[in-house]
Copies of this chain bind each other. A is one copy, B any other.
Amino acid sequence: MAYQTNKRKIINDPVYGFISIPGELIFDIIEHPWFQRLRNIKQLGLTSFVYPGANHSRFQHAIGAFHLMEMAISTLRSKGVDISHEEEEATYLAILLHDIGHGPFSHALENSIIEGITHEDISLLLMKKLDEQFPGKLSLAIEIFLGRYQREFLHELISGQMDMDRLDYLRRDSFFTGVIEGSVGSERIIRMLNVADEHLVVDEKGIYSLENFLIARRLMYWQVYMHKTVLSSESLLVKLLKRARELASSGTDLYTTPALKFFLKNKFENNDLWRERMFTPGIIAANFVRLDDTDILASAKYWTDHSDKVLSDLAGRLINRNLFAIELQNDPFPEEKLTGLKKMAGDLMKISPEHLDYYVYAGTISNLAYTPDAPEVKILLKNGKTDVISSVSDMFDQRFISERVTKYFICYPKECR
């Protein structure tokens, strides 16, 4: 195969320095076109509107998480945890591919262009297809990814409270945004990992690092991941694509790229449909594995010329960074506030009633995407027992650690301020 002839064994990463790629299979997966696609998907969507340095890609993140996994495996082995070569390779493959199913702008467009399925489920569909292309070589990786393998700590290293995914993204997002306080001592934390009863645990003396990790994560939520301007930008993008889909599905002519056109015109309401049609030739996969940020950006800027006023206005706002005003609070906004703003927008800006939802809207944001329903981190005490961190730490209570926060926001044209 073509990509076998140009093997680079070392990757330079501004965050960690040199990353060595061990073995042929790992290398072949990295060189695979589906993995290379991640180069054109920004890790943080439109966050670069606020933090101009945040142009890093899902590709970089996947490589970085893989690198941390190497450190984790090596640490666990040094503590006497027996991990076979097969398990090691499978864990590397699983972490590399954990985000392969992400669509354009990462989380921003989940449930917008790509509906009826999560990015994790698409990752799984693509991994299974790769397991056909490299016959059987990804089977164990898939088992681990799904949490079906008996040694649960391997899954927890990929998806759990202290997995390599978030250890990388917190550090990397902090690095590229320049929000240095969000920086996580990934290496120190990884050195504190251990295994008890086949579950991932943290050595007792790692408790302060763990606290620091949880606080850094919290800081990143509010300073970066749920930054008001980011929220306003991404909700505008969602509205824009909603309008484009409306026009496309009603037969209005609309300049766009082939793959984006496919998703604007087609909806697959649920997992079953996706699974059924994914690899039917030409139907989903052929379009999905081409779709990246450039399709959105290269379409939206030309929509500013479209005869549909809503489409062209929203597109212009996005391209020129002329965003909606946004308010964010802990409680829902009263219905009257929304009604009032809609009235004002309609009057001031001559927006017809059926289009007001594109200009004045409410929504909620939670940190759910960043705190999955994984069980709480366990601490391995010096006496050999394990306990959850909320019992061990004198600082955190359960409420804080799980920290499921929902906030309410409302967006409207700045003209209505």
Which residues of B have CB within 8 Å of A365?
none
Would you list 23 pairs from A and B whose C-beta atoms are within 8 A, ordered by A residue?
Answer: A2-B320, A2-B414, A5-B417, A8-B229, A10-B191, A12-B51, A12-B52, A14-B175, A14-B178, A18-B188, A48-B57, A52-B57, A53-B56, A181-B183, A181-B184, A181-B188, A181-B216, A211-B218, A212-B216, A215-B215, A255-B258, A294-B294, A298-B299
Contact A3/B33 with A52-B60, A212-B215 known, Cβ cut-off 8 Å: no
Q: Is the CB of A178 within 8 A of B321?
A: no
Given known pairs A55-B55, A176-B14, A255-B258, the reply for A33 and B211 (CB within 8 Å) is: no
CB contact between A215 and one of B55, B211, B298 (< 8 Å): that residue: B211
Asked if A146 is at the interface of the complex by the 8 Å CB criterion, the answer is no
The contact of A12 among B12, B53, B259, by CB within 8 Å, is B53
**B5 near A414 (CB under 8 angstroms)?**
yes
- A219 on the B face (CB < 8 A): yes
How many residues of A are in contact with the other chain, CB < 8 A? 78
| Chain B residues with CB below 8 A from A31, complex form | 321
Query: Interface digits, A126-168 against B, CB 8 Å rule (1 contact, 0 not)?
Result: 0000000000000000000000000000000000000000000
Contact residue among B39, B297, B394 (Cβ-Cβ distance under 8 Å from A294): B297
- Which B-chain residue is minimally distant from A222 (CB atoms)? B208
From the candidates B3, B39, B53, B183, name the one contacting A52 in the complex (CB within 8 A). Answer: B39
On chain B, the residues within 8 Å of A209 by CB distance are 181, 219
The closest CB in chain B to the CB of A304 belongs to B290
Q: Is A187 an interface residue (CB 8 A)?
A: yes
- Chain B residues with Cβ below 8 Å from A178 are 12-14, 17
From residue 19 to 66 of chain A, which have CB atoms closer than 8 A to chain B?
31, 33, 36, 39-40, 48, 50-53, 55-57, 59-60, 63
Query: Are B175 and A185 in contact, with the CB atoms below 8 A?
Result: no
Q: Is A293 an interface residue, CB under 8 A from the partner?
A: yes
Give the interface of A toward B (CB within 8 A): 2-3, 5-6, 8, 10-15, 17-18, 31, 33, 36, 39-40, 48, 50-53, 55-57, 59-60, 63, 175-181, 183-185, 187-188, 191, 208-209, 211-212, 215-216, 218-219, 222-223, 229, 255, 257-259, 290, 292-295, 297-299, 301-302, 319-323, 330, 394-395, 400, 414, 417
**Contact B301 A290, beta carbon cutoff 8 Å:** yes
A257, closest chain B residue (CB) = B298
User: Whole-angstrom distance from the CB of A394 to the nearest CB of chain B?
Assistant: 8
A214, chain B: closest CB distance, angstroms? 9
What is the bound-complex CA distance between A400 and B255, given in angstroms?
A: 52
Q: If the complex has contacts A18-B188, A257-B302, A400-B395, are A6 and B180 also in contact, measured as CB distance less than 8 A?
A: no
Given known A-B contacts A12-B51, A14-B175, A321 and B36 have beta carbons under 8 A apart: yes
Q: Which B residues touch A51, using CB under 8 A?
A: 12
Q: Which of B5, B8, B14, B299 contacts A53 (CB 8 A)?
A: B14
Q: Is the CB of B215 within 8 A of A14?
A: no
Contact B414 A6 (CB under 8 A): yes
Given known pairs A31-B321, A257-B298, A414-B5, the reply for A53 and B48 (CB within 8 Å) is no
Question: Is A180 a contact partner of B185 (Cβ separation < 8 A)?
Answer: yes
User: Do A13 and B52 touch across chains, with their CB atoms under 8 A apart?
Assistant: yes
Q: How far is the CB of A314 from chain B (nearest CB, A)?
A: 13
Residues of B within 8 A of A330 (CB): 394
Q: Knowing that A3-B322, A179-B185, A211-B219 are A-B contacts, what are 15 other residue pairs whose CB atoms are under 8 Å apart, sorted by A's residue number?
A: A3-B320, A6-B321, A6-B323, A11-B52, A12-B177, A33-B320, A52-B63, A55-B57, A181-B183, A181-B184, A181-B185, A181-B216, A208-B219, A211-B218, A395-B400
